[in-house]
Chains A and B, each alone.
Chain A
Amino acid sequence: MHEWALSDSIASAAKEILEKENLKKVDEIVVVLGEVQDIAAKVFADIFNDVKKNYHGIEDAKLTVETEPAVFACLNCGNVFGLDRKGLNHATNEAIHFLPEMAKLYIKCPKCGSVDFKITQGRGVFIKEIKGDK
């Protein structure tokens, strides 16, 4: 139920923005889910719509979810590659789901075999936009 912690963190962060920018209420939150963290968008949205009731000013916020594919860049040979989950077992997928950077322990650059690569896109969850009324 990791999705709960993430949904709650989105609502809590939106609440902080609301207070900082003196908004009356938040109308829409655009959230990006990265492929590496592998969050179930539907589960995430359902939980968010429940959790938001605990945050005054966020209750009516509409959630828009966008997804972002994973992009890795090898620091050894420059190869740019995507996430291939072939050969990753359940425990490994769980580790990456909770701590996306741990992918570097389990995945290699398909071209040169280096484990020294960067996640340039599609890492995890972030808020892209918050729309609200002053």
Chain B
Amino acid sequence: MNLDPKVSAVKNRLKQVKRIIAVSGFKGGVGKSSIACILALLLAKAGKKTGLMDLDFNGDSCAAILGVKQEFPEEIFGLTPPIISGVKLMTPAFFSQKKAINLRGAEITNVILELAAVTQWGELDFLILDMPPGFADAALDIIRFMPQAKVLLVKTPSVLSKTLVERAQSVLKTLNVSIMGEIENLSARGLPYDDTLEAAYGNPEKLKATPLALALEKQIPKLFNI
């Protein structure tokens, strides 16, 4: 029969999570990770119980953005995510000792499942997922294992981003995944170009005070109905 028990375990681990938001952009480098991290910090600041899971195994960046040292999560009935400025964080960085993660598609699916099966989030209002770019195995598998996740699309005014987002929307439709909102990054109408961002990486308090964060904070009530 060869049944993988992890799939069932993931469901149990996510039972007390109210909303799962997959921050995705399909194009590389549009600001998904920066926005996912800052969004998580802002939700926590607003008093929401918030978790952040870095699912970009080939290019994880949440630990660097939030300035987390290599820190092995505490083990109690699984792994307890450390809390960074109010945000419960789980990332492959805790296991990779700063090495490049040289895993192939099916292997990434396995580790994502394994990590989701042992992470004890407890009660959460929001679990923010930092998604890998594109529609490779990992992105599709995450959607399959966490069907309750809703996508927050990050795009830029570039036509290159727009065409990808349009194609992504039609794929998501066929997969029955709902899009909960869109954020336009690097745009006068959305989140501005922010030259203070680089210096704020690694420091959650500074990140929350960047012009990018202030602009994002204004969008939160409408995006999340809170």
Contact = CB atoms under 8 A, between A and B. Distances in A.
Query: Are A and B associated in one complex?
Result: yes
A122 interface: no
A95 B5 contact: no
A124 interface: yes
A129 B3 CA distance: 8
Interface stretch (B45-53, B71-79, B163-171): B71-79
A93 to B, nearest CB: 11
A126 B3 contact: yes
Contacts of A102: 95-96, 101, 111
Interface string A65-109: 000000000000000000000000001101100111110111000
B107 A101 contact: yes
Contacts of A115: 102
B4 interface: yes
B99 interface: yes
Contacts of A26: none
B2 A91 contact: no
> Which range contains the number of B residues in contact with the other chain?
35 or more
Contacts of A130: 1, 3
A27 B8 CA distance: 20
B72 A104 contact: no
Given A9-B117, A92-B97, A105-B97, A16 B8 contact: yes
B9 A13 contact: yes
A5 B9 contact: yes
Interface of A: 1-2, 4-6, 8-10, 12-13, 15-17, 91-92, 94-95, 98-102, 104-106, 115-116, 123-130
Closest 10 CB pairs of A and B: A9-B9, A5-B78, A13-B5, A9-B5, A95-B95, A13-B8, A127-B3, A101-B107, A5-B118, A12-B8
23 contacts: A1-B75, A1-B76, A1-B77, A2-B79, A4-B78, A5-B117, A5-B118, A12-B9, A13-B3, A13-B8, A15-B8, A16-B8, A95-B97, A98-B115, A98-B118, A99-B111, A99-B114, A102-B96, A102-B101, A104-B103, A105-B101, A105-B102, A127-B5
Interface of B: 1-9, 11-12, 72, 75-79, 92, 94-97, 99-103, 107-108, 110-111, 114-115, 117-118, 120
